[in-house]
Amino acid sequence: MNQLKIKKSDRVLVISGRDRAKSGKVISVDPKLSRAVVESVNIYKKHAKPSRKYPQGGIIDVNVPIKISNLMVICPACQKAVRIKYKNSGKDKRRICSKCKEVIDAT
């Protein structure tokens, strides 16, 4: 299983692709496929027949996963898109911002 530097509930910036320069919050991450679903990014229209879940049917907006290589984490301290580094402190391994050296969160 791949170790990913992006985690659920991170704020990320899309750096390439159709939705370049959009940002949003990570909803879910799939490490096997190296993809993440980001809120309000990579939205597609799905045509649904009437069913119990969608009694009216019609056109529904669906969030589609995007490759993790196209995303960068936005540091909560400096508000910039940054690379993630790891720092070991005793038994803890923490993610830190490469620009401002602030701890992003505990992992």
pLDDT for residue 46: 93
Per the structure, the complete domain to which residue 52 belongs is given by 1-74
Query: Do 49 and 100 lie in a common domain?
Result: no
DSSP for 80-102 reads SEE-EEEEEETTEEEEEETTT--
Those residues with Cβ within 8 angstroms of residue 19's Cβ, 6 or more apart along the chain or in another chain: 41, 42, 66
Query: Do 104 and 69 lie in a common domain?
Result: no
* Residue in 87, 91, 90 with CA at minimum distance from that of residue 105: 87
> Is the pLDDT at 2 greater than 70, yes or no?
no
pLDDT for residue 38: 97
Query: Do 61 and 40 lie in a common domain?
Result: yes
Summarize the confidence of residues 23-45 as an average pLDDT: 95
Task: Count how many domains the chain has.
Answer: 2
Domain holding 47: CATH number? 2.30.30.30
Query: Do 106 and 58 lie in a common domain?
Result: no
Summarize the confidence of residues 32-56 as an average pLDDT: 94
pLDDT for residue 21: 93
| The model's pTM | 0.85
Query: Do 57 and 97 lie in a common domain?
Result: no
Round to whole Å and give the CA distance between 7 and 5: 7
> Is the pLDDT at 106 greater than 60, yes or no?
no
Query: Do 58 and 93 lie in a common domain?
Result: no
- Tens-digit pLDDT profile for residues 73-102: 999 999 999 999 999 988 888 999 999 999
